[in-house]
């Protein structure tokens, strides 16, 4: 499994009602052992999370099921992430 950093920046369509479904989605991904950590940006512009997946395409497919993506509330970008040092 590889690590993938997901940067999720809020769009003008952001609505706070998506937060709870997003948290439930994160909990489900965590329960499958695919979520390393999560966090929000203190300026309110979005947040990030780190996933474990077999490939970039698998990570992107998973992220596409996140309610913040499916509702258009945030625009997630997925990066393969290699920790050095």
Q: Which pLDDT band, with edges at 50, 70 and 90, does 15 fall under?
A: very high
Confidence class of residue 82 from pLDDT cuts 50, 70 and 90?
confident
pLDDT surpassing 90 at residue 83: no
* Mean pLDDT, residues 9-34: 97
Cβ–Cβ < 8 Å for 76, 63: yes
* Residue 40 CB burial class (10 angstroms; 0-12, 13-18, ≥19): middle
Residue-by-residue DSSP string for 22-67: HHHHHHHHHHTT-EEEEEE-TTSSEEEEEEEESSHHHHHHHHTTSH
The model's pLDDT over 30-63, given as tens digits with 9 standing for 90+, comes to: 999 999 999 999 999 999 999 999 999 999 999 9
Residue 67 reports pLDDT greater than 90: yes
């Amino acid at each position: 499994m590889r690590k993938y950093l997901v940067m999720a920046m809020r769009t003008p369509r952001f609505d706070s009602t998506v937060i709870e479904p997003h948290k439930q989605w994160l909990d489900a991904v965590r329960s499958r052992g695919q979520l390393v950590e999560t966090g929000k940006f203190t300026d309110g512009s979005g947040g990030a999370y780190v996933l474990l997946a077999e490939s970039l395409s698998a990570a992107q497919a998973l992220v596409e099921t996140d309610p913040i993506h499916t509702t258009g509330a945030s625009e997630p970008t997925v990066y393969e992430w290699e920790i050095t040092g």
